[in-house]
Structure 1
Amino acid sequence: MSSTHIPILILGATGYIGGSVLSRLLAHSDAKSFEITALIRSVEKAECLRGFGVKTVVGSTDDVEKLETLASHAHIVFSVVSTDDLPAIQAADKQGYLKSYIILHSLVYGMASGPFVDLGIQNPFSMQIPGLIMAAFDRGHVGMFGKGLLIWPSVHIDDAANLYLILFDAVLANPEKVGHGREGYFFVENGEHTWYDLSKAIGGPFVKAGLSKDSEPTTLTDEELIKYTGSVEIGHKMGSNVRCHANCARGLGWKPTKTNKDMFDNLSLEVSALLNIVQAKQQKAST
């Protein structure tokens, strides 16, 4: 790689996936040639990241003008934020010079780890599995989307984050060999599961911990979907049917190591970690 410094902008740097990507960028063999800038909402988190040599700008993806300026100064942008944030995505694309590479996640599982998690500035939890666990705490019984027959693919957080760096290296090494735009979609998966099997597996640790008498999941009602996901529409979307294969990602040399067995085997750890958080909040509220 050239000794020239490469300006990199990362959005979502303290999020579940974004923090895992940033920690890998900082550990990259060529990290000394990177000039990394992160757009951060929190002043405290921004100050902490500066200690790692990351330049920070306090703001959010709602600050479109600021985002456009930051993107125009970067050679590479890691946008590890919600794909529904259309203005944020457009702010790096309006001039028509962007080569986009889109990573499409399946259900990402496992608790994130690394220096940012240790410091308490990175969210260590995903969405779907912790969401089901937290709902089960509240309702006293594990729930599932619909009849649980629909299928989703899954991938471990470490495998998902590794793909960002594999794609990054491939683009730097020979951008002409890596598809972009319509050809630059990279699915991320390493196995499939039904929602019933996942919810049933969550129910096991609940019974073992004495939090429920039965591990058999029951269907979340429309009222519960609104309560736990925000709306019936979002709930149905989360419990929908998704099928894909990560052929393009594997074609880059991505070799995921975690399987569904790892997802199911580690559910008790997530139940325990989230239960500790819930109990700590309850204790704080009672004092």
Structure 2
Amino acid sequence: MSAKTTIFLTGATGYVGGTVLARLLNHPERKNFDITVLVRDEAKAKILSTKFGLNTVIGTHQDLDKIASLAEAAHIVFNISNADDEQFTGAILKGLKNRNTKTGDVPILIHTTGSAIVMDDARGAYAAGPETIFDDLDVEKAKAIPPTALHHSVDLLILDADTQGYIRGYLVNPSTIYGAPTHELVAAGITNTHSIQIPVLIQAALARKRAGMVGAGKAIWPAIHVDDTAELFITLFDTILKKPEAAGHGWEGFYNGENGEYTWYQLAKAIGQALVELGVASDPEPTTFTHEELLKYFPTLEFAYVWGTNCRVRASRARALGWKPKYTTEDLFKSVKPEVETFLRK
């Protein structure tokens, strides 16, 4: 019998991480995986251990020595919990470097970044043209992303480690993620069922009793369903296991996640329509957030302007591996009303 593939996954109780973990639990090769997850909550850790057969370790992102040790013990690490924590990612890389030094194994790091690495500062005023699109096969465009871009300081740590040769690093780059996951970890009460971008707009709309947008809402973003996001991770994972030479890594290892685009106005209008249908508002037309509302409904003013940015990407590299997303922009808009209903009940 060959040794099992050792996997360390962060973000097991999260919206995306839990959905990826559910795919691994139902993977055809599941019996050949030895999966360890880092969990803060002891009750959830117990369920993951007893019901789902996972190795669970109680800890936080601040337990750097523990994280390094867990990474060192794994051939494949999925980091699906934080795209911006340099110390946390540094601990993962330290562990993987130790593994490489001690065993000669070149471990795999599949890291979750985000398409915000190429967003602008339009504040809703305009739609960016096709010349701004970041196709994940365009290595030179990847290298031109400024170090100050959101998430990118962590990306650069991984790219440097890949260049040094002690890991093979893969950067999964989702856009606006939407949809309600329905896998068994959700049923068990383990994982978060909401993303960030759309729920923030919904909660603001419910509070002000009318849909809102940053500026004129003209800026464009791509979107990807949570299930298609998980399938992207698994498509990449399967390729790495079966045909690693087919999956580019390092600077050739950006894997964008998108299947269609929307404008912030269109998204806000869908929220507005849902509010009218549910009796919360009388007019579906979104209005521009005032300065005071941006401060009220978003953590910071700088963060609020993210909802008015352009961000245009294409997932050519991911599709070349055989990834076939099922959900379209139409599904994005269809997902809005059920999500509004969920927050209305809360």
TM-score (norm 2): 0.78
1:284 match: none
Q: Which residues of 2 match residues 119-134 of structure 1 at below 5 A?
A: 119-134=188-203
2:246 match: 177
1:19 match: 18
C-alpha distance in 2 between matches for 1:275 and 1:203:
13
C-alpha distance in 2 between matches for 1:120 and 1:72:
30
Contact kept in structure 1, 2:212 and 2:268, CA below 8 Å = yes
Amino acid at match of 1:264: F
1:88 match: 88
The alignment covers a number of residue pairs equal to 276
* Unmatched runs of 5 consecutive residues or more in structure 2: 98-160
2:155 match: none
C-alpha distance in 1 between matches for 2:54 and 2:291:
44
Deviation at 1:205, TM superposition (A): 1.0
1:60 match: 60
1:280 match: none
RMSD, matched Cα? 1.2
C-alpha distance in 2 between matches for 1:230 and 1:258:
30
Deviation at 1:92, TM superposition (A): 2.3
Deviation at 1:89, TM superposition (A): 1.6
Deviation at 1:225, TM superposition (A): 2.3
Amino acid at match of 1:56: T
Q: Deviations along 1:180-214, whole A, 9 cap, x unmatched?
A: 11110000000000000000011101001110111
Contact kept in structure 1, 2:209 and 2:281, CA below 8 Å = yes
Of 94-103 and 253-262, more deviation after overlay is shown by 94-103
Paired residue secondary structure (1:148): coil
Q: Deviations along 1:93-143, whole A, 9 cap, x unmatched?
A: 243412110101100011111111112221111111111111111111111
2:213 to 123, 127, 144: 144
Contact kept in structure 2, 1:92 and 1:98, CA below 8 Å = no
Structure 1 stretches of 4+ with a deviation exceeding 3 A read none
C-alpha distance in 1 between matches for 2:210 and 2:65:
46
User: Are 1:196 and 2:238 counterparts?
Assistant: no
Q: Deviations along 1:151-201, whole A, 9 cap, x unmatched?
A: 000011110111101000000112222111111000000000000000001
1:154 match: 223
Contact kept in structure 1, 2:38 and 2:59, CA below 8 Å = yes
User: Are 1:104 and 2:103 counterparts?
Assistant: no
Contact kept in structure 1, 2:246 and 2:321, CA below 8 Å = no
Amino acid at match of 1:8: I
Amino acid at match of 2:219: L
Paired residue secondary structure (2:256): strand
1:186 match: 255
TM-score (norm 1): 0.93
1:39 match: 38
* Unmatched runs of 5 consecutive residues or more in structure 1: 278-287
Paired residue secondary structure (1:35): strand
C-alpha distance in 2 between matches for 1:234 and 1:218:
19
Amino acid at match of 1:253: G
Amino acid at match of 1:84: D
C-alpha distance in 2 between matches for 1:134 and 1:221:
16
How much identity, in percent, do the aligned residues show? 46
